[in-house]
Amino acid sequence: MKIETLLSMLLLLPVLWSNAQAPADRPNILWIVSEDNNTSLIGCYGNDFATTPNIDRFAKESILYKNAFSTAPVCAPSRNTLITGMYPPSLGTEHMRSTNPVPSFVRFFPKYLREAGYYTTNNAKKDYNTVDQTDAWDESSNTATYQNRKPGQPFFAVFNLNVSHESAIHQPAATLHHDPEKVPLPPYHPATPEFKRDWAQYYDKVEEMDRQFGKLLTELREAGLADNTIVFYYADNGGVLGRSKRFMYESGLHVPLVIHLPEKYAHLARAQAGSQTDQLVTFVDFAPTLLSLAGIPIPDHMQGQAFLGLQQKPERQYAYGFRGRMDEAIDLSRSVRDKKYRYTRNYLPHKPYGQHLEYLWKAPSIRSWEAEYKAGRLNEIQSRFWQPKPAEELYDVDADPDNIHNLATDPRYANELARLRKANDQWLRESKDVGFIPEAILSRIANQTPLYDFARQGKYNVNRVIETATLASSRNPADAKELVNRLNDPDPVVRYWAAMGCTVLKPGGAKKPLLPLLQDPEAAVQIAAAEALYGLGQKEQPLAVLKNALTSSSRPVRLQALNALQTFGKDAAPLATIAREIIAKTPMTNPVNDFYDVRAAQTLLDAIGN
């Protein structure tokens, strides 16, 4: 056979295969998604204190994935990954509850299933962190169900179990099933009464989630559909107590994933039913995997790879994670995980892990943790959450599942550190990570063009930006001279990162070149320069710049200024009146809209005693 003929046949295979499978021949697919729980809260992952009999029983006849990861440690960005099959920092959708648009070719993956004849339902959470595509679903509501499909029609159905959501611990329950005095605590949490109770209460909520999971499986069996339905169980991110959800540790990113393929579809997986696999999978892989299972060609733009079905790819080497703005707190970290190590790069290391978040602080446990820190009653491990971050973190997750022993400065792990550092850097450049553009600039660009497109139009010098952000965050005094030189760079994003580097390093020679940036054309650069100059002992001029920023019509500008002011302590008091005006002008009549500048303004007022 001629090579040209063979290549033509290979190219036609996905089309022929798709056409050969009538919709009735395709598997039903059921997603059961719990909220805010990591692997440590599920019995089949080794926790004897957990009460999850239904999931545990399900795992015995399914494939349990030991290395499944959310791309973000919080719901909306991770759900953006799930629905698009793409990496949110490449789409400009990484920041919590942004509405930046995606390119027109990025379609929510259930659309492909609908076009192939599937009945698609979502019950009921979306939270996709971009402009919604409502035509992805035949039904999306609190009553949506596969039972409304046409006779014989295959279905893809999602059920979101929100009983385990973070909000479940905001109010103490009257009674508890799990004993607070016996609940296992991670070493980074102090054994306060509030922590014991919140942990016990959350175990109760996971137990209720397990009951709901079991009910959905019973309904499937009673409908006579179990033998034709592939079932996924997973959580939308880790969590839920402090230092898990929102944070770049195993506790925030390592999620349970158990998949059952009925006997007739068992050939679509490499692993066998009842087994456990250490294969690395990540949320960016879920969309292509669903299309692979349904016999639908995977679009080229999807950045994930199928791990089930006839289009599955070789196992990935790394799982990538990210942290952007979390509610009202600006931050930026990236993470790489292989089967043994987790590497995290913190690009704003001067900011503590425990930046105040109005929603997180609703949990009694986080408030007790902060009080213990302020009272000086914590040990070194428990205190780290309230302190600035190292530039790099490296954990042996086998030996240290709680991620408390940072190996980044241990010379015995220098090779692993260099390897994972390189993998992170390469991925940022390859994916054209736009998360390094300050949001005040990012949001303005998004109003004109999708950020994914912008990054590929020759207008984003990703290599120089990543290089500067790396210098800025390395905490290496030898980089100070180059950072000061880059304060005059023609690219405002580079100037921004050079100024942030001056905040981190506080080089004495930076004062004079920083001063002109207080009149920079970009407000984001002005604010970064003001924060750096305050750290170098200046006060009056930085306050004047931030006062002006607080009156900006741009919410991201106001939010950046409020974040900077939180480092000023009592010196921010002259701007208290403007902070109160921000709150008064933007009443939070609909908290779902997340007026984060209002929350940050209240945090500032609380900090300065107003």
pLDDT in tens, 89-122: 999 999 999 899 999 999 999 999 999 999 999 9
pLDDT tens digits along 279-338:
999 999 999 999 999 999 999 999 999 999 999 999 999 999 999 999 999 999 999 999
- What is the per-residue pLDDT for 588? 60
**Gap between the Cα atoms of 483 and 245, Å rounded:** 33
- What is the per-residue pLDDT for 610? 74
Sign of the C-alpha dihedral computed for residues 445, 449, 453 and 456 taken in this order: negative
pLDDT tens digits along 172-220:
999 999 999 999 999 999 999 999 999 999 999 999 999 999 999 999 9
Report the catalytic residues: 75
**Gap between the Cα atoms of 418 and 394, Å rounded:** 11
* Beta strand 63-69 pairing with 319-323: unpaired
- Average pLDDT over every residue of 252-273: 98
Residue 23 pLDDT greater than 90, yes or no: no
Q: Are 369 and 190 in contact (CB under 8 A)?
A: yes
Average pLDDT, the chain: 95
pTM of the full structure: 0.95
- What is the per-residue pLDDT for 24? 52
- What is the per-residue pLDDT for 285? 98
Show the tokens assigned to 356: 């105040």
**Residue 133 Cα distances to 52, 72, 190, 251, 284, angstroms:** 35, 21, 44, 31, 18
Name the pLDDT band for 587 (thresholds 50, 70, 90). Answer: low
Name the pLDDT band for 12 (thresholds 50, 70, 90). Answer: very low
- Average pLDDT over every residue of 239-260: 98
**Gap between the Cα atoms of 477 and 554, Å rounded:** 34
Name the pLDDT band for 586 (thresholds 50, 70, 90). Answer: confident
**Gap between the Cα atoms of 511 and 538, Å rounded:** 9
Percent of the chain with pLDDT over 70: 95
- What is the per-residue pLDDT for 6? 39
Q: In what order do the strands lie in the sheet with 229-235?
A: 139-140, 119-123, 155-161, 28-34, 229-235, 257-260, 63-69, 276-282
Q: Which residue has 């970009």 as its token pair?
A: 522
- What is the per-residue pLDDT for 311? 98
Q: Are 468 and 501 in contact (CB under 8 A)?
A: yes
Residue 438 CB contacts under 8 Å (≥ 6 apart), including other chains: 493, 496, 524, 528, 556, 560
- What is the per-residue pLDDT for 211? 98
Residue 3 pLDDT greater than 60, yes or no: no
Name the pLDDT band for 592 (thresholds 50, 70, 90). Answer: very low
pLDDT tens digits along 40-49:
999 999 999 9
- Average pLDDT over every residue of 340-369: 98
